[in-house]
Amino acid sequence: MIHPSSHRFFHRFHLIQNSILAIAFLLLARPAAGQPAALDPVFAEWQAKVNPAVENALAYLQHIQKDDGSFEGTYGDSTGVPALAGMAFLSKGHLPTEGPYTVALNRCIDFILANQKPDGVFEKGSAGNGPMYAHNIATLFLSEVSGMVDPERQARISAALPKALGLILRAQAVAKDENNRGGWRYQPGARDSDTSCSGWALMALRSAKLNGAAIPDTAIAAAVQYLHRHQQDKDGAFGYTGSDDHALSLTGMGLLCLELCGEHGSERTKHAADWVLRNFRGLPGSQFEFYGNYYNAQGMFQVGGRYWQEYANWMYATYLPKQSPDGSWDSHEAGRTYGTAMMVLAFTVPWRQLPIYQRDETVDEEDR
């Protein structure tokens, strides 16, 4: 939900007609860079430390970016990592039309747009087990940045997004068994699914729908039902291809997706948030900890109250001291560019600079 206090004004711009989708994106005006939309009470005590840490991290990302918009290190030449870095810049309120990171942001955009294939997929370089993971993240980034760019780039984004979203919808529609139906996997034609790839795809669809895209309600509903089938009834955790594998890194993902898809305050989200609250201290040193922290931070912020308070205080106290002198954080699975971008995205949740970060500001008024 976009709360009125989060933005100064909304500006609608042109509809894009396409044989696959018709998209209308909203231009969301942001508060000045460096200022949260409305100061989160938990964040208030940390901002003096978090602000410089985040800016040092963004300076690091800018420094290691290549001229073509890709990045040094693991997966830096895929479309996914430049998308994560681009969202990191945006998450602090920096724009592609003004400020210190305009060149870096526009390079991220141009790299992704330059590497879209005729079928709509954003594919380049080393993308792991298949193109859909990076494609989903790249689509999410372009949906988030749409409306903030110059007219020429806006025209290119407006032409690229319908094809990119169409591919995501076609990949979901591939015939699958009950366990995998509604989800996504690394290849667009895959007949199986996993919750990690599916989380990024669902966030891309949710972002586009929030911005006015004609995303079918049935696609969102099918993805939510897929997630339901991968949540443990007993304790609320989410699994990867089952209901109990990689729960430490994936339960925050399931929590966030359900929160943003109409299940705020439901028994399922409360069950998941309680699981995160009991288990998150096991993240440091675990497999996929940066991914898990990113989703936990977003999910717990959506739930708000004591959930966000306890998690945020722990997160800032735990990960601020782990920032390297050059401004980076190192993920042992995916390297420094990925690790730094993901940590920035987790740290900056209270800024609510992107549509994907919005929440109902009455959450902290609820009795928890």
Rounded to whole angstroms, the Cα distance separating 229 from 67 reads 44
Q: What are phi and psi of 15, to 5 degrees?
A: -85, 140
CA angle 119-156-214, nearest 5°?
65
pLDDT of residue 7: 28
Q: Compute CA distances 304 → 231, 293, 326, whole Å.
A: 21, 16, 32
pLDDT of residue 186: 96
Helix (H) or strand (E) segment spanning residue 250 = helix 247-258
Greatest CA separation for the chain? 52
Amino acid at 229: R
The closest of 311, 182, 314, 195 to 250, measured between CA atoms, is: 195
What one-character DSSP code corresponds to residue 82? H
Amino acid at 312: A
Rounded to whole angstroms, the Cα distance separating 215 from 19 reads 13
CA dihedral over 28, 29, 33, 36, signed as positive or negative: negative
Q: How many CB atoms lie within 10 A of CB 367?
A: 4
Tokens representing 268 are 């399922």
Q: Which residues pair with 184 in a beta bridge?
A: 194
Q: How many CB atoms lie within 10 A of CB 318?
A: 14
Rounded to whole angstroms, the Cα distance separating 20 from 4 reads 32
| 8 A C-beta contact, residue 228 and residue 270 | no
pLDDT of residue 8: 24
| 8 A C-beta contact, residue 90 and residue 348 | no
pLDDT of residue 348: 94
Rounded to whole angstroms, the Cα distance separating 243 from 95 reads 39
Q: Using the structure block, give the residue that is written with the tokens 């076609």.
A: 170
Q: Could you list the mean pLDDT of each consecutive 10-residue stretch along the chain, which spans 368 residues?
A: 26 32 36 53 88 97 98 92 98 95 98 98 82 97 96 98 98 98 97 97 95 95 98 95 90 96 94 98 96 97 95 97 98 94 96 77 50
pLDDT of residue 46: 93
Tell me the pTM. 0.89
Architecture of domain 4-223+340-356 in this structure: Alpha/alpha barrel (1.50)
pLDDT of residue 127: 65
